[in-house]
A and B are shown apart, each in its own frame.
Chain A
């Protein structure tokens, strides 16, 4: 079972920041927060992951609360191509080997022109 809770849908105006929340109140100390997204009719795509520090890459930023019970994925300047379902996934990271992803229902983000 997915260990995360996300809102089913969100809208965002093109060019504005999209902030996607995720609750993971039962996260363990050795578990990381991963974000993937699935654009319509494509396979899921990795976005970013983190343990406890905020992370940023070319796609997005990940803000994790100090108690690690929730996080927010930020797309700084959303474009129409960011319209997708975004999945927040909690899983063991380092030293876990290659383990499967457990997907919840995700958040369907619609970027509106």
Chain B
């Protein structure tokens, strides 16, 4: 099992540019989460999907951020236009809930975004 795959691992861009982060969840998982980590705010949820449907996007900072999950094996997080304050590590996580209480989430390696 390859685990959760994220790309790119590192992204350096200039303010105003569009940035697209990609995530491939673990095959068979039915939930996908996007988190962001900064020194100031720690780990915080941006948005999550259940069965490809967005459930809660209240953590998305503003309209510059958008996320899609066109199918069960792929999701994107887009920032347009990017700003220096968007610099952070973005994590994607997936999980499979089958009715029990474990609810374990598997995290990808993250994308380190730097906006100059």
Contact = CB atoms under 8 A, between A and B. Distances in A.
Interface of A: 32, 34, 38, 41-46, 49, 51, 87, 91, 93-105
B107 A44 contact: yes
Nearest to B46: A100
Contact of B103 (A99, A102, A103): A99
Interface residues of B, number: 29
Contacts of B105: 44, 46, 101
Given A43-B93, A102-B45, A105-B42, A96 B103 contact: yes
B104 to A, nearest CB: 4
Contact of B95 (A41, A98, A102): A98
Contacts of B102: 49, 93
B56 A32 contact: no
A43 B101 contact: no
Contact of A44 (B43, B45, B97): B43
Contacts of A51: 101
B56 A100 contact: yes
Interface of B: 4, 30-31, 33, 35, 42-45, 48, 50, 56, 91, 93, 95-97, 99-110
Interface of A is mostly: loop
B45 A32 contact: no
Contact of A98 (B97, B107, B109): B97
B100 A94 contact: yes
A43 B110 contact: yes
Nearest to B92: A43
Contacts of B106: 46
29 contacts: A32-B101, A41-B110, A43-B4, A43-B107, A43-B108, A43-B109, A44-B43, A45-B107, A46-B104, A51-B101, A87-B43, A91-B103, A93-B102, A94-B99, A94-B101, A96-B101, A96-B103, A97-B50, A98-B50, A98-B95, A98-B96, A98-B103, A100-B33, A100-B48, A101-B43, A101-B45, A102-B45, A103-B43, A103-B44
B41 to A, nearest CB: 10
B30 A98 contact: yes
